[in-house]
Amino acid sequence: MYVIVIIVALIGGVGTVLVGLSKENAKQNHEYESKAKENISKIVLFYLIAIIAFIIMWVLIVD
């Protein structure tokens, strides 16, 4: 069960980065690229913190 949650979070993170870096998004909004890198960095950081928090909670519960 825990592995499934981690896999879904990783897939969500990778999907977010791929959508954020897509050329179609940049074509529709000229300011997109200047803000995209900052936004993607924040989202990736959020996913990493969430995964680390989940692992810490899992270790504390299992022990």
d(CA 61, CA 28): 46
Residue 40 token pair: 């993607």
Who wins on pLDDT, 12 or 35? 12
pLDDT tens sequence across 5-30 = 788 888 888 887 787 777 776 677 66
pTM: 0.52
- What does the buried/exposed string (b/e) look like for 25-41 if buried means 16 or more CB atoms within 10 Å of the residue's CB? eeeeeeeeeeebeeebe
Q: What is the pLDDT of residue 63?
A: 65
